[in-house]
Structure 1
Amino acid sequence: MDFFKYIHAVGTGPKGNRDLSFQESKDMMQQILDQSVPSEQIAAFLLGWRLKPETTEEFRGALSACDAYTKKENFPDSIELGYPFDGKAKNPYIFPLVAKALENTDLKLVIMGDDKQPAKDGITIKDICQNIDLHQNIQYFDRKKYCNKLHQLTDIRNKLGLRSGFNTIEKLPKVANSQYAITGVFHKPYVKKYVEIFADRYESFALIQGNEGTPELFSKGRIWIMKSNNIEEIIVAPQYYGIHYKKSWEQISLADSLEQLNNPSDEYLKLAKLNAAVYLFIAQKYKTIEDAFDALS
């Protein structure tokens, strides 16, 4: 279809806008990934799509197009961690320490990274992975290799400078065919939408009210997990496990982030163990988070 019809569908205002069908959204995303239309039209669509806003069916169609361009591998017994590609700005990452906490289990971590995307000016997964030795039970995938067409849109997205539908669909590409997945979510109203987009791609799928939108729990928060076609909500408080880590509210540098990973405090190591227990629970290795946490002690 003529791409301008898609711009018209999302960019004519509340009275003229309409939702795209699954096939239309898939075709739209294929044209964007191929960059067969001018960058100005791509930016115009992404802005209009965000403001319309996007529907679950549109997200699923766009994700289907991305799947067709994604080189996938099989990494058994793994949980895919859906991080935002705009990074973390105020706190260090914890996944390298989580991997160490899981070293005597059969659960592996899958993470994905790329150059920084809008809108937060944070430290990215790629920044960390390029500057630290990863534990053997972490599999890092660079998007330049597994989905180069999406990587090639980085310049257009950064020039636009705003969040777009990509920020949602890029989190969980299922690049390693993982059985389990968890990603971060800011607001409870988005839980149902994320479940509708991603849940049927995994044996077990969960969302977490994580630090800076990541699948990392730093303070008291909620976990939503799919069980028997129902969304179960669980509140997790680190204090319950004797953990008193204080998250930062200040900007953090890459050097500071790496320092906290290379020389972690006792509280940070305990927090890593709690996150490891959460992942084991989501991967159905234990019946409760408490059981998993005790097993890691």
Structure 2
Amino acid sequence: MDIKQIIKEIGRGKLHARHLDLDNATALYRAILGDDVDDLSLGAILIALRIKGEGEEELLGFYRALEDCLPQWSALPHTVVIPSYNGARRQANMTPLLALLLHKFGVNVFLHGIHCDPTRITSAEILAAMEIKPAETIAEGHRQMLDTGFSFMTIDTLCPPLAKQLDLRWHLGLRNSAHTLAKLISPFTAQAGVRLTSVSHPEYLPKVTQFFRDIHAKALVSNGCEGEVYLNPQRPSAIQYVNNDGSDVSEMIPRGVPAQTPLASNKDIETTVNWMHAVLEKKYPIPLPLREQIISSLVVCERFNSLSEAGSWLAEQGY
């Protein structure tokens, strides 16, 4: 593989750069994950990809290389996989609440993300305040899924090579392709479970939905909140559903209106945890966009047969 030629192809700027084909993308990312690319070339590659954006074949090729570094657990019924790689910048981070509510409603939940971010409030920090610790090994995470149906794992345990690339953000000052890929991964085989993911930029929506079609994975895709997967109560997004039969993408939930429900007053960990407990204990209602996201998840992971059935069941439970 000629690294200089690859940099030449992808580094010509947004208008003139070329996307790599599937095989070259796979080989390149396998080399990156294996520490076989020198630091100067790696920085050039990551910045070039940041400027031009990943092509569909590049995204698929990178993921194929990444799969070699991930577990391949067998399917569990009624399972969702939730990424958390951004944290709260302005308002409370509701990803832990989404995960805990789904688990409470009979769904197996695997949550993965970063351990800390000096500029934001991460899901790991919120869960730590609730005395929920991350699994320390892949084997422990698997046991937790089998025994309790819930596990949280940080990316440095789940996939150390990807964690190393994520950390380059603090050297380069910018996010890179690893931040896109981290939101797509799962410790289960490709066709197992449902992946919840979000995009921050509109041009990534067709790329991400096509990616899930290419690997024949079930997924719910939306514009999240501050990079997190939960729907923003103040600017809710539509939810796109990708089935694992490779069929066309469908709109599961149309874009809604801001929810008129109480929210956490700020992003502070203690405030967020107290508010989450109040929602879990039915003292506050679930914000409407989050409730619709939960209903969608209950249907696509086959807990219920329809949105109306899942919604009626939630209402009967007091939610």
Partner of 1:235: 254
In the alignment, does 2:236 pair up with 1:224? Answer: no
Query: Which whole-Å CA distance do the structure 2 matches of 1:103 and 1:16 have between them?
Result: 47
- Change in 2 beyond 3 A, CA 1:99/1:58: closer
CA distance in 2, matches of 1:37, 1:244: 51
2:274 maps to amino acid: E
Normalised by the length of structure 1, the TM-score is: 0.83
Which structure 2 residue ranges, 5 or more long, are not aligned? 133-143
> How many angstroms apart in 2 are the aligned matches of 1:232 and 1:262?
34
- Aligned partners of 1:189, 1:100: CA distance in 2, in Å? 31
C-alpha change, 1:268 and 1:94, in structure 2 (3 Å) is: farther
How do 1:131-142 and structure 2 match up within 5 A?
Answer: 131-134=129-132, 136-142=148-154
Q: How does 1:41-190 map to 2 (within 5 A)?
A: 41-74=41-74, 76-77=76-77, 78-83=79-84, 85-103=85-103, 105-116=105-116, 121-134=119-132, 136-177=148-189, 178-190=192-204
Offset from partner CA, 1:188-225 (integer Å, 9 cap, x none): 44321111112344553221233223221243321111
Number of aligned positions between the proteins:
290
**Which residue of the partner structure matches residue 205 of structure 1?**
219
Q: Deviations over 1:249-275 (max 9, x none)?
A: x97233333332234473454656544
Q: SS at 2:240's partner residue? A: strand
Structure 1 pair 153–266 and aligned structure 2 pair: CA distance change class (3 A): same
Work out whether residues 79 and 108 of structure 1, in 8 Å CA contact, stay in contact via their aligned partners in 2. yes
Contact conserved, 2:33 with 2:162, CA < 8 A, in 1?
yes
User: What is the percent sequence identity of the aligned residues?
Assistant: 20
Tell me if structure 2 keeps the 8 A contact 1:91–1:247. Answer: no
Counterpart of 1:212, as a letter, is E
3-state SS of 1:166 partner: helix
Name the CA distance, whole Å, in 2 between partners of 1:19 and 1:104.
43
Deviation at 1:52, TM superposition (A): 2.1
The offset of 1:36, in angstroms, is 2.1
Q: What's the secondary structure of 2:110's corresponding residue? A: strand
Supply the AA of the counterpart residue of 1:276: I
Whether the aligned pair in 2 keeps the contact of 1:86 and 1:121 (CA below 8 Å) is no
Partner Cα distance (1:33, 1:277) in 2: 37
| Residue 272 (structure 2) pairs with residue 257 (structure 1) | yes
Amino acid paired to 1:226: V
**Distance in structure 2 (CA, Å) of the matches to 1:15 and 1:102:** 43
CA RMSD of aligned residues (A): 3.0
CA distance in 1, matches of 2:268, 2:61: 37
**8 Å contact kept, 1:91–1:257:** no
Deviates more, 1:158-167 or 1:259-268: 259-268
Normalization by structure 2: what TM-score?
Answer: 0.78
Alpha-carbon shift at residue 51 of structure 1 (Å) = 1.2
Counterpart check, 1:294 vs 2:292: no
Q: CA offsets per residue over residues 52-90 of structure 1, 9 Å max, x none? A: 23201001101111111113333512111233x232212
The amino acid across from 1:159 in the alignment is H
Is the alpha carbon distance of 1:98 and 1:54 closer, same or farther for their aligned partners in structure 2, counting shifts above 3 Å?
closer
Query: What per-residue deviation string (whole Å, max 9, x for no partner) do you get for residues 78-119 of structure 1?
Result: 111233x232212323344445544565421111112457xx
1:235-288 deviations in Å (ceiling 9; x for gaps): 15477xxx622557x972333333322344734546565442221123243343
Q: Which amino acid in 1 is paired with 2:222?
A: I
* Equivalent pair of 2:224/2:232 in contact (CA under 8 Å): yes
In structure 2, C-alpha distance between the alignment counterparts of 1:127 and 1:75, rounded to whole Å: 29
Q: Secondary structure at the match of 1:212?
A: coil
CA distance in 2, matches of 1:87, 1:291: 32
Q: Secondary structure at the match of 1:152?
A: helix
